[in-house]
Structure formats: C-alpha cells, structure tokens
Amino acid sequence: MPIYRYNRMSETRPQLNPCIIDTTLREGAQAPGVRFGEEESTKIAHALVSLGIDMVECGHPLISDAEARRVRATVAACGAVPVLAHARARFEDIDSVKATGAQWVGIFVGVNSISRNCRIRFEQPVYEVVSKAVGHAKNIGLRVRFTVEDGSRTPWSELVEGYRAALEAGADRLCFADTVGLLCPWEVEELIGRLSREFAGCDLEAHFHNDRGMAIANALSAVRAGARWISSSVNGIGERCGIVDTLTLLANLDALKWRRLRNGHALPHVSKLVQAYSRLMLDRLRPIAGMNAFTHVAKLHQRAVLGDERAYAWTVPETIGRVNSTDPEVLPSARERLINHPEVMSTAELPPRQREPGDRYVMLDDRVVPDARQYCTVRRIPEMDDHGEGHVDAHRHCVDSVFLFIGHGPDLSGLTVEVRLGAETFVVESPSSVFIPSGLLHSYRVLAGAGLFINHGQAGDYDSSLLDPAIFENDLGDAATESRITGDPGELFSLHIRDNKREPII
C-alpha cells in the first residue's frame, strides 16, 4: 500500500511482520450491549481468516455451556488458524478451554496491589498460583499465553517476577496488558523495549486499551520496540472505550511496510459485518472504515483529487476497499424540501418474494431527502381471502430497523401477521411494532385482515442496509482473489456503482 509522506529513516528497528491476534470474539464480546452467538461468531471468524489474521481469541468457556459452544464453533470455523480462549489461573477454567478444542489458553492474573485487593484473591502466593496453572495447561496439551493484567500499573519487579514464574512453568508467550489505557507511546517504547531485552528470545504480545485515545499509536510503538504480537479487535470494540482497531492496525502496518496487507478490499465489509452483529456503529470520522474517510467537500480539494487522487489522500483508497468521493450528499437547506409526498415503488425495485398484493410507497430515503440517513416504506395490505403461504425473503440489515403493523379496524386492529425473528416464529396482531436488531435474520407474511405495513430503518437506502456476509464464506486469499487485488482497483467496485458514480461500499 503506497503511503504518501516524507520518509526518514527511523533510529529504531521495528519488529517486521508482526503477528495479530484478533480478540473481537472475546474482548469485543465484553463491550456494553454486545452478544455474539454461535452463528455470529462463525461468520466473524470466517471474516477474520479471510484477512489473514494469525490467531483468533474467543471467549471464556467456563462462563456457560452456551459460551463453550460458541468457542467450539469458532474453532471449527477457523480451520488451520489457531484459536485461543480465556481462563483464570484455575484448573477448572483451563480444563474448559481444553474441552472446546482450542489450541491455546490465555491465562491472566493481576499481580499488583490493586489486583490483589479487589480482583481475584488467592489462598496461595500469586506466583505459585501462576506456576501451577501454567504447568497444568502444558500437561494437558495446551499452548499458553500468560498475561499480567494491569501491567502498566504493576511495579517492574512484580511484572518480571510474574512473567518469570510463567516462563519457568512452560508458558509459550508473554502478554503485556495496558488494561486501563494508561500509557503514552513513548512510555510504551521504553517499557516494551525493556521487556524485550529482559525476555529476549520469548514472543511478547501487547494489549492496549483506548481509554485515552492512544491505543493504535501505542500498538505501533510496541512493534517498534520489539513486540511480536499485537492484540486487537475489529472496529476496536471492547470494554469501555475499546482497544486497538484491527482494520486500522492492518492498514498502518502495510503503509509502514512492516506487514503486508491481505485482502485490503475486504476491510469495509468486515467492519460492516461486526457493526451489524455488535450493534456498535462507527462514527463517520473513523479512519479507514468511517463514511467520511475519503470524502472531499471543499471545492479546491475536489478539483485536486479529480486531477490526482493522491492530492488529499494518504493512500490509494482502493487498496483498503474505499474510493475517493467528491459528491457527498448534503441535507437540503431549504426547509420546504424536507416536506415530501410519497412515490409508489416500481416492481423493479422489489425483490421477487416481496411482490405481494398492495402498493408500496417510499416515504423517505436519500432519494427523497438527500442525506436523510434513514428509510421508511409503507405497504398497503388489501383485504383478501387468501394472502398466500410464503414469507417475504428472509434477510438481515446492518442497521436496526422496525416493522409497524396497523390494521384498518377500530383502534388500529384487524391485521394478523406471522413474523420470523431468527429461528423463532410469532403470530402478531395489530397494532404492533417489531424491533429488529441489526444482523438478525427476519421476515414476515400476512395471515389475515387488511391495513398498513411500515418498514423503517437507520440507513439512507434499503439496498445498502442489507447485510450479505457471503463474501467471507470462502477464503478470499486464493489465487483468483489475489489476482483481483493486483489488477485494476476499479474492478473491485463494479457491483457498487449507482447513478454512474463509484461510491464507497459502506
């Protein structure tokens, strides 16, 4: 990936080709409101494998049977890519990891005074607990990553003693965790450099939280200082303010020529997939996958970019699945343009299984009000003796949406429908609303009565809101895909052209 900047030789030699352990399915699953099931975890795992992630971290299987099943499903989905699951320094936690088929266990212990006083209390000395836990994991055939939790607030002597106890018991990798996002990049370089020298020859991993907004900078500093592994998650989701964003990390490592980017064109798709299943939407200013990342508004900028795409871009956008946009939609300034009358949808706009009787009206989308960022359609359902047996095509959206059923009878009654949400089916009487979280497979069919069906979603147009994760079902790293990446970047966007304009696939 070309990077347009003045290059100066660095005085430090970075760890070339650093490895990435993606923890979307463990750390990301701990973000507020996030619940990944087996299906979501499997699809995200496929996406991670397609990006060439070196290891996938998933869950804490002792938590519940459902969590253990989710880890097992992830192991199966990852194939040859190893999976690591979390465990406290307790035998039962470690045994539960082994039972899932995961090849690695991530044992974590806090050894500083804060951890000893308010987190996990042990009857034995903490370093003896570490030694026994690591030894048990090795005895049952697991590889071990050992983490000192809250490492950035742990005195050096205690940090070294904890790591040494783990290494002597057979740990395969050490992980430094800036659990509260405390450190600055220059502190990271000093500390990781010191650890790299202290434990020369041992793989060192770094895990940075983003509480101060420094996670990605800290990750790059850790690589410069000798860290072999970086822990990250898609879109940076995780506890509180999250952690290092996998997609931003991949793009930056490639731009610095520290690690080759594989399937860069898929980055926006992976981001969209995780946004849908986590219900954590990116703000428009987010680098790499944010809507505004390659959108140019000032006339001077637009003219310059049309002449040379490098004028106001740090890289060739197509290499990371984006395109320069010089025609952003703008909310109308004239207030009367916010008031509109609906248009009847043409049959060409309807998928095959949505062409049931009754007119459909486009009440709102980006065509009706530019930059509306939401759509609303209304279907008039006529009275019929037989509404048919079939549901409309089951589908998913990458945004939250809602069904509203309104009957023509008294108090809005008089309409009966059947709604599918995931694997479950419900009979619903009007008036009623059905909230559909992003990523949930859903459908409906009319059983009896007449009335109105209203569909509202948080996207500017219906088609762009549809989630199609099929791109990740097969490994995108095959020869055909690689040849596409090295060919004309414009070909990658042939399916995303609308009104004769190439648009970012976000």
Say which amino acid occupies 403.
F
Whether 231 contacts 21, CB under 8 Å:
yes
**Tokens 């199966």 belong to residue:** 76
Whether 177 contacts 195, CB under 8 Å:
no
Q: Which of 63, 65, 61, 66 is nearest to 40 (CA)?
A: 66
Catalytic, 136? Answer no
49 vs 270: CA distance, rounded Å: 11
Phi, psi of 128 (to 5 degrees): -70, -35
Q: How far is CA 128 from the centre of its chain?
A: 38
Give per-residue burial for 91-106: e unless 16+ CB within 10 Å, then b. Answer: eebbbbbbebebbbbb
Phi, psi of 73 (to 5 degrees): -65, -35
CA distances from 190 to 161, 183, 187, 226, 257 (A): 19, 11, 5, 10, 23
Q: Is 52 exposed, middle or buried (0-12, 13-18, 19+ CB in 10 A)?
A: middle
Fill in the DSSP letter of residue 422: T
Please tell me whether residue 101 adopts helix, strand or coil conformation.
coil
380 vs 199: CA distance, rounded Å: 70
**Tokens 């003896």 belong to residue:** 128
Whether 397 contacts 466, CB under 8 Å:
yes
246 vs 233: CA distance, rounded Å: 5
Phi, psi of 148 (to 5 degrees): -90, 110
Which member of 46, 86, 207, 301 is catalytic? 301
Q: Under 8 Å CB-to-CB from 429, ≥6 apart: which residues?
A: 413, 415, 416
352 vs 394: CA distance, rounded Å: 12
Q: Under 8 Å CB-to-CB from 354, ≥6 apart: which residues?
A: 392, 393
Catalytic residues: 301
